[in-house]
Amino acid sequence: MWFIYLLSWLSLVVQICFITLAIAAGLYYLAELIEEYTVATSRIIKYMIMFSTSVLVGLYLFEGFPTLMVGVGLFTNLVYFGLLQTFPYIMLTSPNFILSCEEFYPFSEVLAYFTVCLWVIPFSFFVSLSAGENVLPSTMQQGDDVVSNYFTKGKRGKRSGILLVFSLLKEAVLPSRQKMY
């Protein structure tokens, strides 16, 4: 009886590893899609913010959620709209980004509220952080031109953010074969 018990725990660990790899692969693919389709992503995030706002209003009107909780949720949605104005360029030191980081409640208490109103939109911005790295310059930012940006920030071909982490993990787990000449 102990052998099957040990085998069930081993299979659980293997399944958790497979699920983790599947989630990582899905996030990597999602980040690539966001990088490719930034305009569509911006539109989707806008609709997600509007849906979250309507859910918050519904929770206030029909479920009697506290005014402070709903007010903070509506304020963060307003901040997310501010982040969307410069999308896909998100400055981690901007007031909008700093205001969008808030305290999360325990998962077991408010799963639905957490998922719909607090987690989905910031997560989509987090996954989108690398989208602005390989975009051709189309508009000038304040005090920034293409030549000075190239020389001050270095080579633009480098990747950073979550795609760099996934690329490094991919190379560590599945090293590419070297071509022989």
Asked if the model's pLDDT at residue 152 lies above 60, the reply is no
Q: Which residues contact 37 (CB under 8 A, 6 or more apart)?
A: none
Asked if the model's pLDDT at residue 53 lies above 90, the reply is yes
Asked if the model's pLDDT at residue 62 lies above 80, the reply is yes
Report the alpha-carbon distance of residue 126 to residue 162 in Å, rounded.
9
Asked if the model's pLDDT at residue 150 lies above 60, the reply is no
pLDDT digits over 165-181, tens only? 777 777 776 666 665 55
Angle at the Cα of 63 (from 59 to 64), degrees rounded to 5? 95
Predicted local confidence at residue 141, as pLDDT = 56
Report the alpha-carbon distance of residue 141 to residue 131 in Å, rounded.
17
Asked if the model's pLDDT at residue 67 lies above 80, the reply is yes
Predicted local confidence at residue 133, as pLDDT = 67
| Listed residue (81, 120, 118) closest to 101, CA to CA | 118
| Listed residue (95, 83, 96, 166) closest to 125, CA to CA | 83
Higher pLDDT, 130 or 27: 27
Predicted local confidence at residue 57, as pLDDT = 94
- Following CA atoms 38, 40, 43, 49 in sequence, which dihedral angle do they give, to the nearest 10 degrees? -80
Answer whether 87's CB lies under 8 Å from 38's CB: yes
Q: Please tell me whether residue 177 adopts helix, strand or coil conformation.
A: coil
Higher pLDDT, 148 or 68: 68
Mean pLDDT of 95-104: 68
pLDDT digits over 108-141, tens only? 565 677 677 667 777 777 777 766 666 655 555 5
